[in-house]
Amino acid sequence: MPDPSLLEFFPSPTERPFVVEHVAEEFTSVCPKTGHPDFGVVTLRYVPNRRCVELKSLKLYYQAFRNEGIFYEAVTNRIRDDLAEAMDPLWLQVITDWRSRGGIRSRIVATHGSVPPEWLRPA
Amino acid sequence: MPDPSLLEFFPSPTERPFVVEHVAEEFTSVCPKTGHPDFGVVTLRYVPNRRCVELKSLKLYYQAFRNEGIFYEAVTNRIRDDLAEAMDPLWLQVITDWRSRGGIRSRIVATHGSVPPEWLRPA
Amino acid sequence: MPDPSLLEFFPSPTERPFVVEHVAEEFTSVCPKTGHPDFGVVTLRYVPNRRCVELKSLKLYYQAFRNEGIFYEAVTNRIRDDLAEAMDPLWLQVITDWRSRGGIRSRIVATHGSVPPEWLRPA
Amino acid sequence: MPDPSLLEFFPSPTERPFVVEHVAEEFTSVCPKTGHPDFGVVTLRYVPNRRCVELKSLKLYYQAFRNEGIFYEAVTNRIRDDLAEAMDPLWLQVITDWRSRGGIRSRIVATHGSVPPEWLRPA
Amino acid sequence: MPDPSLLEFFPSPTERPFVVEHVAEEFTSVCPKTGHPDFGVVTLRYVPNRRCVELKSLKLYYQAFRNEGIFYEAVTNRIRDDLAEAMDPLWLQVITDWRSRGGIRSRIVATHGSVPPEWLRPA
Amino acid sequence: MPDPSLLEFFPSPTERPFVVEHVAEEFTSVCPKTGHPDFGVVTLRYVPNRRCVELKSLKLYYQAFRNEGIFYEAVTNRIRDDLAEAMDPLWLQVITDWRSRGGIRSRIVATHGSVPPEWLRPA
Amino acid sequence: MPDPSLLEFFPSPTERPFVVEHVAEEFTSVCPKTGHPDFGVVTLRYVPNRRCVELKSLKLYYQAFRNEGIFYEAVTNRIRDDLAEAMDPLWLQVITDWRSRGGIRSRIVATHGSVPPEWLRPA
Amino acid sequence: MPDPSLLEFFPSPTERPFVVEHVAEEFTSVCPKTGHPDFGVVTLRYVPNRRCVELKSLKLYYQAFRNEGIFYEAVTNRIRDDLAEAMDPLWLQVITDWRSRGGIRSRIVATHGSVPPEWLRPA
Amino acid sequence: MPDPSLLEFFPSPTERPFVVEHVAEEFTSVCPKTGHPDFGVVTLRYVPNRRCVELKSLKLYYQAFRNEGIFYEAVTNRIRDDLAEAMDPLWLQVITDWRSRGGIRSRIVATHGSVPPEWLRPA
Amino acid sequence: MPDPSLLEFFPSPTERPFVVEHVAEEFTSVCPKTGHPDFGVVTLRYVPNRRCVELKSLKLYYQAFRNEGIFYEAVTNRIRDDLAEAMDPLWLQVITDWRSRGGIRSRIVATHGSVPPEWLRPA
User: Cβ of D25 and C114 within 8 Å?
Assistant: no
**Predicted local distance difference test score (pLDDT) of residue H120:** 58
Which residues of D are known catalytic residues? 31, 38
Domain assignment of residue A93, yes or no: yes
Of I100, I108, I111, the CB nearest to J20: I108
> What residue type is assigned to position H26 of the chain?
E
**Predicted local distance difference test score (pLDDT) of residue E41:** 98
For residue J93, list its beta bridge partners: J45, J111
- H/E element, H4: none
How much of chain E, in percent, has pLDDT values that exceed 70? 94
| CA distance to B39, G115, I93, J86, per residue, from G97 (Å) | 16, 20, 18, 43
Please report all neighbours of C, defined by 3+ CB atom pairs within 8 A.
Answer: B, D, F, H
> What residue type is assigned to position H31 of the chain?
C
In chain A, positions 56-95, which contact chain G (CB-CB < 8 Å)?
Answer: none
Q: How confident is the model at residue A117 (pLDDT cuts 50, 70, 90)?
A: low
Tally C-beta pairs within 8 A across E and I.
7
Cβ atoms of B75 and B61 closer than 8 Å = no
Residues F29-82 pLDDT 10s: 999 999 999 999 999 999 999 999 999 999 999 999 999 999 999 999 999 999
Domain assignment of residue I64, yes or no: yes
Of A36, A99, A103, the CB nearest to G99: A103
Burial class (CB in 10 A: 0-12, 13-18, 19+), G35: exposed
Domain assignment of residue I123, yes or no: no
pLDDT at E118 over 70: no
Q: How confident is the model at residue D123 (pLDDT cuts 50, 70, 90)?
A: very low
Q: Which residue of H has its CA nearest to J93?
A: H118
Shortest distance, CA F31 to any CA of chain B (angstroms): 13
Mean per-residue pLDDT of chain D: 93
SS3 readout for chain D: CCCHHHCCEEECCCCCCEEEEEEEEEEEEECCCCCCEEEEEEEEEEECCCEEECHHHHHHHHHCCCCCECCHHHHHHHHHHHHHHHHCCCEEEEEEEEEEECCEEEEEEEEECCCCHHHECEC
Contacts of J99 in chain D (CB under 8 A): 103
Cβ atoms of G18 and G48 closer than 8 Å = yes
pLDDT at F122 over 70: no
User: Cβ of B103 and F99 within 8 Å?
Assistant: yes
Cβ atoms of J32 and J74 closer than 8 Å = no
**Predicted local distance difference test score (pLDDT) of residue B115:** 72
| CA distance to A7, D3, E68, per residue, from J30 (Å) | 39, 44, 16
Q: pTM of this prediction?
A: 0.95
For residue H114, which of H82, H95, H92 has the smallest C-alpha distance?
Answer: H92
Residue D32: how many other CB atoms lie within 10 Å: 12
SS3 readout for chain E: CCCHHHCCEEECCCCCCEEEEEEEEEEEEECCCCCCEEEEEEEEEEECCCEEECHHHHHHHHHCCCCCECCHHHHHHHHHHHHHHHHCCCEEEEEEEEEEECCEEEEEEEEECCCCHHHECEC
Distance CA F30, CA B30 (A): 28
* Segments of chain C scoring below 50 in pLDDT: 122-123
Sequential DSSP letters for C86-99: HH--SEEEEEEEEE
Contacts of E55 in chain D (CB under 8 A): 101-102, 104, 106
Residues J65-88 pLDDT 10s: 999 999 999 999 999 999 999 999
Mean per-residue pLDDT of chain I: 93
Distance CA B26, CA B62 (A): 9
User: Cβ of B18 and A76 within 8 Å?
Assistant: yes
Residues J11-65 pLDDT 10s: 999 989 899 999 999 999 999 999 999 999 999 999 999 999 999 999 999 999 9
Residues J45-59 pLDDT 10s: 999 999 999 999 999
Q: Is G62 helix (H, G, I), strand (E, B) or coil?
A: helix
Distance CA D21, CA D95 (A): 11
pLDDT at H74 over 90: yes
Q: Which residue of E has its CA nearest to J98?
A: E26
Catalytic residue among H3, H31, H81, H88: H31
Of G74, G107, G122, the CB nearest to I13: G74
Cβ-Cβ contacts under 8 Å for I2 (sequence gap 6 or more): I61, I64, I65, I68, I82
Domain count, chain A: 1
User: Cβ of A100 and B25 within 8 Å?
Assistant: yes
Of C13, C21, C118, the CB nearest to B106: C21
- Chain centroid, CA J28 distance in Å: 13
Shortest distance, CA J72 to any CA of chain D (angstroms): 17
Residues A67-110 pLDDT 10s: 999 999 999 999 999 999 999 999 999 999 999 998 999 999 99
- Given the DSSP bridges, would you call strands H9-11 and J18-30 parallel, antiparallel or unpaired? unpaired
Of A14, A119, A121, the CB nearest to E77: A14
Tell me the residue range of the domain where G101 lies.
4-117
Cβ-Cβ contacts under 8 Å for J9 (sequence gap 6 or more): J51, J52, J53, J54, J86, J87
Shortest distance, CA G123 to any CA of chain F (angstroms): 3
Domain assignment of residue E123, yes or no: no
User: Cβ of G39 and A99 within 8 Å?
Assistant: no
Contacts of B81 in chain C (CB under 8 A): 14
* φ/ψ of residue B47, rounded to 5: -110, 115
User: Cβ of B23 and A105 within 8 Å?
Assistant: yes
Domain assignment of residue G32, yes or no: yes
Q: How confident is the model at residue I119 (pLDDT cuts 50, 70, 90)?
A: low
Catalytic residue among F38, F52, F82, F97: F38
pLDDT at H121 over 60: no
Shortest distance, CA A27 to any CA of chain I (angstroms): 10
Contacts of D115 in chain E (CB under 8 A): 117-118, 120, 122
Q: Which residue of F has its CA nearest to H21?
A: F123
For residue J27, which of I102, H64, D122, B6 has the smallest C-alpha distance?
Answer: I102
Domain assignment of residue B123, yes or no: no
Please report all neighbours of B, defined by 3+ CB atom pairs within 8 A.
Answer: A, C, F, G
Contacts of D99 in chain H (CB under 8 A): 25-26
Q: Is F79 helix (H, G, I), strand (E, B) or coil?
A: helix
Contacts of H99 in chain C (CB under 8 A): 103
Sequential DSSP letters for J51-100: EEE-HHHHHHHHHTTTT-B--HHHHHHHHHHHHHHHH--SEEEEEEEEEE
Distance CA J32, CA J27 (A): 16
Q: Is H1 helix (H, G, I), strand (E, B) or coil?
A: coil
Of H76, H110, H121, the CB nearest to F123: H121
pLDDT at D112 over 60: yes
* φ/ψ of residue H2, rounded to 5: -55, 140
Task: Calculate the CA dihedral of residues B29, B31, B37, B43 and round it to 10 degrees.
Answer: -40
Interface membership of D107 toward E (CB under 8 Å)? yes
Sequential DSSP letters for chain C: ---GGG--EEE-S-SS-EEEEEEEEEEEEE-TTT--EEEEEEEEEEE-SSEEE-HHHHHHHHHTTTT-B--HHHHHHHHHHHHHHHH--SEEEEEEEEEEETTEEEEEEEEESPPPGGGB-B-
pLDDT at A123 over 50: no
User: What's the average model confidence in pLDDT over I60-85?
Assistant: 97
CATH code of the domain in which C95 resides: 3.30.1130.10
What does pLDDT average to in each consecutive run of 10 residues of chain G (123 residues)? 94 92 98 96 95 97 97 97 96 96 95 74 45
Q: Which residue of G has its CA nearest to B38?
A: G26
| CA distance to A75, A76, A113, J5, per residue, from B14 (Å) | 11, 10, 16, 57
**Predicted local distance difference test score (pLDDT) of residue I41:** 98
Q: Which residue of F has its CA nearest to H72?
A: F20
For residue H41, which of H103, H96, H90, H106 has the smallest C-alpha distance?
Answer: H96
Q: Is I80 helix (H, G, I), strand (E, B) or coil?
A: helix
Burial class (CB in 10 A: 0-12, 13-18, 19+), C117: exposed
What does pLDDT average to in each consecutive run of 10 residues of chain B (123 residues)? 94 92 98 96 95 97 97 97 96 96 95 74 45
Distance CA H71, CA H32 (A): 7
Q: Is B93 helix (H, G, I), strand (E, B) or coil?
A: strand
Domain assignment of residue B121, yes or no: no
Of B13, B52, B117, the CB nearest to A115: B117
When scoring B7, B8, B12, B22 by the number of chain A Cβ atoms within 10 A, the one with the most, hence best to mutate, is: B22
> What residue type is assigned to position J92 of the chain?
L
Task: Calculate the CA dihedral of residues B95, B96, B100, B101 and round it to 10 degrees.
Answer: -130
Tally C-beta pairs within 8 A across D and J.
7
**Predicted local distance difference test score (pLDDT) of residue F123:** 38
Shortest distance, CA F24 to any CA of chain H (angstroms): 4
User: Cβ of B18 and A109 within 8 Å?
Assistant: yes
How big is chain E, counted in residues? 123
Distance CA J18, CA I112 (A): 10
For residue G44, which of G60, G63, G58 has the smallest C-alpha distance?
Answer: G58
| CA distance to C32, E64, E122, per residue, from E3 (Å) | 60, 8, 38
**Predicted local distance difference test score (pLDDT) of residue C122:** 45
ipTM for the assembly = 0.92
User: Cβ of F102 and B36 within 8 Å?
Assistant: yes
Contacts of F119 in chain H (CB under 8 A): 109
What is the Cβ-side half-sphere exposure of residue I87, based on CA atoms within 13 angstroms? 32
Please report all neighbours of G, defined by 3+ CB atom pairs within 8 A.
Answer: A, B, F, I
- Chain centroid, CA E51 distance in Å: 16
Domain assignment of residue B11, yes or no: yes
Task: Calculate the CA dihedral of residues G115, G117, G120, G122 and round it to 10 degrees.
Answer: 180
pLDDT at E117 over 70: no
**Predicted local distance difference test score (pLDDT) of residue B117:** 66
**Predicted local distance difference test score (pLDDT) of residue E116:** 72
What is the Cβ-side half-sphere exposure of residue E89, based on CA atoms within 13 angstroms? 31
Cβ-Cβ contacts under 8 Å for F80 (sequence gap 6 or more): F92, F93, F94, F110, F111, F112, G18
User: Cβ of I21 and G107 within 8 Å?
Assistant: yes
Please report all neighbours of F, defined by 3+ CB atom pairs within 8 A.
Answer: B, C, G, H
Examine chains B and C and say if they touch (3+ CB pairs below 8 A): yes
